[in-house]
Amino acid sequence: MDARLNYFADETAGKALKHLMSAGKAVKDSPLPAATQELVALRVSQINGCAFCIDMHTKDATAAGETPVRLHLVAAWREATVFTEAERAALELAEQGTRIADAAGGVGEEVWANAAKHYDTAQLTALTLLISFMNMANRMNVIAQQPAGDYQPGQLH
């Protein structure tokens, strides 16, 4: 399977991606815990059906020491006992932030308040940026039908 577009070969996309990669690095270097970042990136990618990003974030999380059990249970995090209350709050925020079109009111006050109990302002900002960034990256990859399976951990960092 070949992608419809090669973003790295296009001049306009190359210019834009340079800035997007910089933004992604800023979020990665934020005070939001790295494990939370990978779990959220994976969950958003699952919801959006982005095979490339699921491949990437599963492999990057594994390389960073995340357990297979937690990675396998991200899709069913509500019923899983392996996530902290803070991670659950982040995953709920990620789901509501990703499914904005499905929920007329956007992100609910209760979900936001729960996340705010576990994360400070800098972490909430990074979490919001990450959710937004992942939704954009997922859409770019799904539209271009980026194939999955060949990603190497750290390849895009």
Nearest to 119 by CA among 106, 131, 105: 131
Q: What is the mean pLDDT of the chain?
A: 92
- The residue written with tokens 């577009």 in the block is 5
- pLDDT given for residue 55 in this prediction: 95
Lowest mean pLDDT among 9-23, 37-51, 54-68, 119-133: 9-23
Degrees, nearest 5: CA angle 68-92-30 = 75
**The whole model's pTM is what?**
0.92
Check residue 5 and report its DSSP letter.
-
Residue 1: is its pLDDT beyond 90? Answer: no
- pLDDT tens digits for 37-62? 999 999 999 999 999 999 999 999 99
Q: Residue 8: which pLDDT band, with cuts at 50, 70 and 90?
A: confident
Three-class DSSP category at 64 = coil
- pLDDT tens digits for 66-102? 999 999 999 999 999 999 999 999 999 999 999 988 8
